Amino acid sequence: MIELTAYVEGRLREASELRKRYVLTSFSGWPDAGRIASLTAEHFAKSLKASKILDLDYSEIYDLTVARPIVEIREALIDKLSLPAASVYLWKSEEQDASLLIFSGAEPGLRWRQFADEILKLCGAIAAQRMYLVGGVLDQIPHTRKPRISAVVNMEHLKNEVKLHGLELSNYSGPASIHSYLMIRAREVGLEAIGVWGHTPTYLTQPDAIIALHVASKIAELMGISVDLSELRAMAESQKLSLRKAMIENPDFRRLVEELERRYDSVRGPSYIS
């Protein structure tokens, strides 16, 4: 699925020589509620001016009868068909002595073992010290309260680190996403992995820039790198104003949020993530 040219291999080799070496993954689809994962990866790639080094072929790992490709037809003439895709970006900085490989694509529906082998091969190519997996999950929480960011780790010693950075330790039993599989496979080869999940209110219909900003900030903090998130911050502020206006103008919406506030303040529920 992944074929590395001599040029790409050279770029990855250079990235492997820096002190901090990380991989950031995001998957659209089920583990991307509120587009939190997609927004985070997009803004990391854009802010860091990361270079796209690979486009991944999804033809063998995506069930197109489950998640249909998008077709455009204009006056009966088929114009184009958009298939699920994935891209890999690379950023490296001599000044920060750091490199970051960013994977952004749809969650594969088939052949998870084959897919994980390819991701781990990329991790090995830059001698990655850790993989960060970013996700979004729907939760019964109000946007008016402190953002809830949960963490999942694949090694015991990582628990204290995520707690020190203010992340909640997750408890969950249920259907899993590609995150869980990748984290277990990473552990098998001795690679640390941390899943960072932003919890978004169930009532939001637009991408949740507010939570994405907090998730992106936490990941940058964990990595110890400097990332300009001003564009994402502006999106978050605009969204806050829009929601504040909606609460003033829509009594039903205000009552919904107030009820969620009462529940949130009285009982902290479980973290529904995988």
Running along the chain, 274 residues long, what does each successive block of 10 average in pLDDT? 83 96 96 96 97 88 83 95 90 97 94 94 96 96 94 97 95 92 98 98 95 98 97 97 96 95 77 47
pLDDT score recorded for residue 194: 98
Instruction: Return the CATH architecture of domain 6-266.
Output: 3-Layer(aba) Sandwich (3.40)
User: What are the residue boundaries of the structural domains of the chain, listed by start?
Assistant: 6-266
d(CA 246, CA 144): 13
pLDDT score recorded for residue 43: 97
pLDDT score recorded for residue 274: 45
pLDDT score recorded for residue 61: 87
